[in-house]
Amino acid sequence: MIKKILSLSIIAILALGACKKETRSLQEIEEQNIEAYLKSNNLTDFKKEKATYTNGSSVDTAFYYYKVINPGTGEEVGYPSYVGVSQTTTSINKSVKFEFSKYSPQYNYLGYITPTSWRESLLKIKKGGEVRVITPSYLAYGKTGSGSSLPGNAILDTKLSLVNDVDRVAYEDKLIQEYLVEKNLTATKDANGIYYNIITPGTGTAITSTAASVKVAYTGNLLTGSVFDSATNSSPLTINIASTIEGWRIAVPLIKAGGKIKLYIPSRYGYGATPSNGLPANAILEFEIELIEVTN
């Protein structure tokens, strides 16, 4: 009888322990997962910060983790700063890949940036700075996720950078230089700040007049690799050179008919600060242009 009572007591204790484990909150589970992720990946010097989030009809508090990688040297930001942000995001199980490329950052008022952990982490750096933040799912996109890139219940590991574009000329020049290095490309910078690479100089007619008509085949893309416009040799574009963007007017005359040139054009010589033809504002443009025919 005593043995039976003891056995029942042990079972009750084990059951109580199991119930305790099962009633851990999502916050506790994810916090433990994040701590384990930091430890297993030797990620040190992360700070734990409290944030608020909406939980149904109530407001709760929870923790995210962040580390300032580069404090930045530009302007301080705060509410209601309008900021450009680039970011790369994965999850602690590496199933997520989501980003705003530095070549196409997203602009918004700081107070509208989500998740909460992102905007609060951005307050800890200046323009030009970078911060890494690990966000539990309930502070991010919850159990439903967001689109195909962000599944539900994902704990996000994000590197956020604040664009330092007060001096846009210098900022875009730096981006073009970084792009050339990353892609192992060679180009020459002209006096205007346009980068070019003459692939073939051409031996035909030169452009000697702003009224010249040109026949061209070309591909235009953003530095993200996204192609936004093109014309082929079999169906070329015929246009007056004066009707093209300023970057073309400056650089295409560097070659003659039969020539080919590659251009990296800062936004001020493209479409500027106004979104145009589906292009974002302040888009740096890359063109490969074949000059088929010139009529001055």
- Note the pLDDT of residue 138: 86
Instruction: Residue 80: give the domain boundaries.
Output: 24-162
Q: Which one of 110, 127, 162 terminates a domain?
A: 162
The structural domain count of the chain equals 2
Q: CA separation (Å) from 75 to 105, 111, 165?
A: 17, 17, 10
Question: Is residue 54 scored above 80 in pLDDT?
Answer: no
- Are residues 35 and 100 located together in one domain of the fold? yes
- Note the pLDDT of residue 58: 65
- Are residues 50 and 132 located together in one domain of the fold? yes
Average pLDDT of the chain? 90
Average pLDDT over residues 70-78: 96
Instruction: Answer whether residue 5 is part of any domain.
Output: no
- Are residues 41 and 75 located together in one domain of the fold? yes
Q: How far apart are CA 287 and CA 278, in angstroms?
A: 16
Q: How confident is the model at residue 62 (pLDDT cuts 50, 70, 90)?
A: confident
pLDDT tens track for 190-239: 999 999 999 999 999 999 998 899 999 999 999 999 999 999 999 999 99
- Note the pLDDT of residue 6: 46
Kindly report the CATH number assigned to the domain that includes residue 205. 3.10.50.40
Q: How confident is the model at residue 5 (pLDDT cuts 50, 70, 90)?
A: very low
- Are residues 172 and 191 located together in one domain of the fold? yes
Provide the 3-class DSSP secondary structure of residue 200.
strand
- Note the pLDDT of residue 274: 85
Q: Which one of 143, 162, 181 terminates a domain?
A: 162
- Are residues 42 and 155 located together in one domain of the fold? yes
Length of the chain, in residues: 296
Provide the 3-class DSSP secondary structure of residue 264.
strand
- Are residues 52 and 147 located together in one domain of the fold? yes
- Are residues 31 and 117 located together in one domain of the fold? yes
Its pTM stands at 0.81
- At 184, list the tokens: 């192992």
Average pLDDT over residues 60-84: 93
- Are residues 158 and 172 located together in one domain of the fold? no
